[in-house]
Amino acid sequence: MGTLFLYIVVVLLVLLYKTPLLSSSPTSLSLPSVLKPGSSLSVENKDDFLISPNGLFTAGFYSVGENAYCFSVWFTKPLADQSHTIVWMANRDAPVNGKRSKLSLLKTGNLVLRDAAQPLPIWTTNIIDSKEPAQLFINDTGNLYLQNNETQVIWQSFGSPTDTLLPLQKFTKDTSLVSSRSLTNHSSGFYKLYFDNDNVIRLVYNGPSVAGIYWPDPKITAWASGRSTWASRRTATLDLSGHFVSSDSLFFNTSDSENQSVRRLTVDVDGNFRAYSLDETRGIWKVTWQAISDTCRVHGICGENSTCSISPNHGRKCSCIPNHTMINQTDWSYGCKPEFNTTLCGNGEDDFLHFPHYDFYGYEARFVPNVTLDECKRVCLGICNCKGFHFNYETEGYFSCYAKFKLINGFRTMSSNGSMYLKVPKSILLLSNNSEKIVHEDRLICSEKLPTVRIDRAYIKNPKNESVKSLMIFTYVFGALETICIIYFFYRTRNPSKTRQGYVQAATGFQRFSYAELKKTTKNFSKEIGRGGGGIVYKGEFSNNRVAAVKLLKEFGNKQGETELLAEISTLGRLNHMNLIDIWGYCAERKHKLLVYEYMENGSLAQNLHSSKLDWGKRFDITVGTAKGLAYLHEECLEWVLHCDVKPHNILLDSNWNPKVADFGLSKLLDRDGTRNSEFTRARGTRGYMAPEWLFVNHPITSKVDVYSYGVVVLEMITGRSPTGDQCAKSKGRLDSWVKEKMIAAGGTKDWIEEVVDVTVDGKYDTSKMEILIKVALQCSAEDKDARPTMSQVVDMLLHVEN
């Protein structure tokens, strides 16, 4: 019995060795890039793909949800998060069943996509005149095309793009790009890029009820935006080196132009039109150009009665106007409805709520130039359906009044002096005196789970006859044996750590380095560049001239293995912010645990605190940047990450003196409500920067510990005094107490500012700006954690000072 089994195994192995599955390496995959007339691609067969000769693009059935497939073209190589980037779809609005759906190339040259349950084709190329057969090809540029035997292209996917334009693909009067509905729903969304009937490329929001052009800026003429309406044709293309040329004089170069890169231009779900380049080493797309920088100018993001503002940590944010609530808790496009039910036509019963720095686009009931505020109020009160007005400062002593009958496309703008005045019943105004503070901030409910499409289409089962069935059973059994053998074969021939390495890298997006490699790049750990909480950091130089910071973790030591290290750093893979340090990879070999970060030319803030290179302008930028980085860490929709050791040593500076927060993420993750803090068995942090609540066992640890440390760091940057130094001895060792004492001693004058500010720092500063900065820092380092602002509030306060 045993010998028989061994014999079978040997025979199978010999057979297997000859099968292409094992003998071909992934680089030499010879998958077809041509579909012959009369043949078809089936949704069920996982090998039914066409791959472009260079391997960059794949065409086939792409799963867009549970049992839902679209025939698509995508970039073959997955990104670091294992997702694929789709560049074209045949049937984006009508996904087909996951069983017995087929794309067939008919003998007449027509390409037809059929769903088994539907009598009519879901999609077809509709080539009527061609009676000749044609072949379906996929090009190196990502073009899927039908070519007859006279080498004429009779149909091409480049002629009917979905939301993406590839390099060399012509954008013409007959094509348009339409965004996807959402990140998970690929069907047609509301944003469209097209050539308008005056020959200008525009972006339009084409929503369910209203539509509006938002790019180029509709408030000025096309000519003023640098576009030409007098073109002899309507075409635009992006070339391989990142130059975009359009017939309406829209020319731009991507930020990495001249370099060869995998590129795409996409109308994104947020309504912006962006150019991307693939960062192949990290497996992510980088934005290299975008049409709109103030993304709140895109129409239709926040529905009626809500406003859009840019949140530094999370991009755009919608908020209801005061005394209104979200209509649909999961979708801002529904807008907000009033909480009150008095009608706004109340014969002197209405008043106005001042809403500074906000504007709503369009929908004017009346425009009155050169008026006073009182006159404008009377104008709006006189119009029954006036919902409010925008009172705009035009020039010295000259204001215009825009009375609006619909409050839509609201946005916050710091660049104009205009204000919105909202009409509300008097009763509400009496209740809420402090009107400027009551912007209602409903948040979207964060959801990690991606929705899936379920198509419940019945399909007719063809009863298979018995011989087919038994054949299939045989195939399954054989397949199972084959699988076992392949696994056996792999274990025998491959280095097990290598396969694991590939798997791990795919799962986390981090590169795994060997200890020997890192030892070499750091020249045997010779160039120490810093010491952090977790270990010592060394400078490393890779052979391709990339410079990295390599951190030797001491804490991890022997106790924990690779899995624990990966679990700890896996959150970092999802963090991506310009004020957070980038992590490239790691090493975990026996007792050696290392992390590889991007290298920061200017070292840490601690090293530069007393440097003459850091003038007040740079110091201010560092406080804002650091706050943004921390605010992003604390952001609600991410997993909540506390830093727990904010100090000048952990704030690094790149060649442009932009700050990047480092050393985060190795602290444990907390539950959002901060109740599960039993993980913190001992206080973390550094003396002088540690929040008081660390010292009390029963005090919950929340994001406010980082706010405290941040406050201390800012005070240190301003005063040049160390929070652990002797200078503060008289003030019970606390920097904030010292500053407060000076403030009180000055007795209402501003003299204290000069006293606390470091005189050795170069450059002038604006006293009022400095005063606000110090006050924010003092608020942050308040003893009572509830008195401290959140990190995003800090960013907001500091950005207000900037403007």
Ligand X SMILES: *[C@@H]1O[C@H](CO)[C@@H](O)[C@H](O)[C@H]1NC(C)=O
Q: Which is nearer to ligand X, 253 or 727 (CB)?
A: 253
Residue-by-residue DSSP string for 195-248: E-TTS-EEEEEE-SS-EEEEES-TTS-TTTTT--S--SS-EEEE-TTSEEEETT
Q: Looking at residue 700, what DSSP letter applies?
A: P
Provide the minimum distance between the beta carbon of 439 and ligand X in the complex, in angstroms, as a whole number.
9
Per CB under 6 A, 253 contacts ligand X: yes
Separation CA 40–CA 59 (nearest Å): 13
User: How many Cβ atoms from other residues are within 10 Å of residue 802's Cβ?
Assistant: 10
Quick one: which of 7, 17, 223, 398 contacts ligand X (CB under 6 A)? Answer: 398
Structure token digits, residue 735: 């920097």
Applying CB under 6 A, among 39, 108, 145, 212 the residue interacting with ligand X is 145
Q: What is the DSSP secondary-structure string of 50-85?
A: EE-TTSSEEEEEEEEETTEEEEEEEESS--TTS---
C-alpha distances (whole Å) from 641 to each of 425, 509, 781 are 43, 19, 20
Q: Does 367 bind ligand X (CB under 6 A)?
A: no
Q: Looking at 39, 40, 185, 311, which residue binds ligand X (CB under 6 A)?
A: 185
Query: Before 216, cis peptide (omega within 30)?
Result: yes
Q: Which is nearer to ligand X, 349 or 762 (CB)?
A: 349
Of 23, 24, 45, 149, the residue at the interface with ligand X (CB under 6 A) is: 149
Indicate if 351 belongs to the active site.
no
* Minimum CB distance to ligand X, residue 252 (Å): 5
Give the binding-site size for ligand X (rule: CB under 6 A): 50
Structure tokens that stand for 443 in this block: 């948040």
CB of 441 to ligand X, least distance (A): 10
Longest dimension (CA), the chain: 103
**Among the listed residues 196, 256, 517, 758, the single contact to ligand X using CB under 6 A:** 256
CB 101 within 8 A of CB 41: no
* DSSP result, 715-784: HHHHH---TTSGGGGGGTT-HHHHHHHHHHHTTTSSHHHHHHS-TTS-S---HHHHHHHHHHHHHHT-SS
Q: Strand runs (DSSP E) across 435-493, as ranges? A: none
Minimum gap (Å) between residue 388 Cβ and ligand X: 8
Which stretch, 7-15, 132-140, 353-361, 700-708, contacts ligand X (CB under 6 A)?
132-140
Using the rule CB under 6 A, is 125 a contact of ligand X? no
Asked if 181 interacts with ligand X (CB under 6 A), we say yes
668 belongs to the binding site for ligand X (CB under 6 A): no
Sequence letter at residue 658: N
Per CB under 6 A, 740 contacts ligand X: no
Could you say whether residue 339 binds ligand X (CB under 6 A)?
A: yes
In whole angstroms, the minimum distance from the beta carbon of 394 to ligand X comes to 8
In the bound state with ligand X, the residue whose beta carbon lies nearer, of 42 and 206, is 206
Q: 163, 645, 663, 736: which is the annotated catalytic residue? A: 645
**Measured from the CB atom, is 252 or 488 closer to ligand X?**
252
370 binding ligand X? (CB under 6 A): yes
Residue 348 burial by Cβ neighbours in a 10 Å radius (0-12, 13-18, 19+): exposed
Site for ligand X in 22-81 (CB under 6 A): none
Looking at the Cβ atoms of 360 and 597, the one nearer to ligand X is 360
Burial of 708: CB neighbours in 10 Å, binned 0-12, 13-18, 19+:
buried
User: Is 551 labeled as ligand-binding?
Assistant: yes
Cα gap 282→505, rounded to integer Å: 11
Is the distance from CB of 631 to CB of 605 less than 8 angstroms?
no
Instruction: Choose between 386 and 782: whose C-beta lies nearer to ligand X.
Output: 386
**Nearest CB to ligand X, comparing residues 447 and 524:** 447
SS3 of residue 701 by DSSP? coil
| Least distance to ligand X, CB of residue 316, Å | 18
Angle at 712 between CA 708 and CA 714, to 5 degrees: 115
* 331 near ligand X (CB under 6 A): yes
> Judged by CB, which is closer to ligand X: 242, or 685?
242
Q: Decide if residue 338 touches ligand X (CB under 6 A).
A: yes
Residue with the two structure tokens 């900037």 = 802
Binding ligand X (rule: CB under 6 A), the pick from 109, 283, 300, 335 is 335
Is 243 near ligand X (CB under 6 A)?
yes
CB of 430 to ligand X, least distance (A): 5
Q: Which one of the spans 202-210, 256-264, 467-475, 718-726 is the region binding ligand X (CB under 6 A)?
A: 256-264
Q: Which helix (H) or strand (E) holds 562?
A: helix 562-574
CB of 366 or CB of 546, closer to ligand X = 546
Residue reference for tokens 């840490």: 604
Q: What are phi and psi of 622, to 5 degrees?
A: -65, -40
Q: Per CB under 6 A, does 742 bind ligand X?
A: no
State yes or no: residue 132 binds ligand X (CB under 6 A). yes
Of 24 and 149, CB closest to ligand X: 149
- Strands 511-512 and 583-589: what pairing? parallel
Measure the CA–CA gap between 105 and 90, rounded to whole angstroms: 14
Tell me which of 125, 187, 409, 719 binds ligand X, using CB under 6 A.
187
Considering the rule CB under 6 A, would residue 270 count as an interface residue with ligand X? no
Q: Closest approach of Cβ 509 to ligand X, in Å?
A: 21
Residue window 695-714: x/- pattern of binding to ligand X, with contact defined by CB under 6 A: --------------------
Rounded to the nearest whole angstrom, what is the least distance from the CB of residue 169 to ligand X in the complex?
Answer: 9
Choose the stretch contacting ligand X; rule: CB under 6 A; options: 115-123, 228-236, 328-336, 699-707.
Answer: 328-336
Q: Which is nearer to ligand X, 65 or 509 (CB)?
A: 65
Least Cβ distance, residue 21 to ligand X (angstroms): 31
Tell me the window of 101-109, 322-330, 515-523, 528-536 that interacts with ligand X (CB under 6 A): 322-330
DSSP-assigned letters across all residues of 579-627: TB--EEEEEEETTEEEEEEE--TT-BHHHHTT-TT--HHHHHHHHHHHH
- Identify whether the C-beta of residue 169 lies closer than 8 Å to the C-beta of residue 176: no
- Applying CB under 6 A, which of residues 322, 410, 625, 659 lies at the interface with ligand X? 322
Cβ–Cβ under 8 Å, residues 408 and 210: yes
- Give yes or no for residue 328 binding ligand X (CB under 6 A): yes
Q: Does 446 bind ligand X (CB under 6 A)?
A: no
Question: Cα–Cα distance between 120 and 252 in angstroms, integer?
Answer: 44
C-alpha span between 518 and 206 (Å, rounded):
53
Angle of the 735-745 helix axis to the 704-719 helix axis, nearest 10: 60
Report if residue 393 touches ligand X, rule: CB under 6 A: yes
Which residues neighbour 291 within 8 Å (Cβ) at sequence distance 6 or greater? 203, 215, 272, 273, 274
Q: How many CA atoms lie within 13 A of 496 on its CB side?
A: 4
Query: What letter does residue 669 receive in the DSSP assignment?
Result: B
Tell me which stretch binds ligand X (CB under 6 A): 137-145, 568-576, 588-596, 760-768. 137-145
Binding mask 279-318 for ligand X (x = CB under 6 A): -------------------------xx-------------
Within 405-434, the residues that bind ligand X by CB under 6 A are 415-417, 428, 430-433
For 623-673, what is the HEC assignment?
HHHHHHHHHHHCCCCCCCECCCCCCHHHEEECCCCCEEECCCCCCCECCCC
Which sign does the torsion angle of CA 752, 755, 758, 763 carry? positive
Q: Which is nearer to ligand X, 132 or 482 (CB)?
A: 132
Tokens in use for 453? 């499409």
For ligand X, the binding residue among 39, 141, 724, 779 (CB under 6 A) is: 141
Extract the annotated binding site.
551
Annotated binding site for ATP: 551
Q: Which residues bind ligand X (CB under 6 A)?
A: 132-133, 139-141, 143, 145, 149, 153, 156, 181, 185, 187, 243, 251-253, 256-257, 259, 304-305, 322-323, 328, 330-331, 335, 337-342, 344, 370, 387, 393, 398, 415-417, 428, 430-433, 438, 451, 453
Active site (catalytic) residues: 645
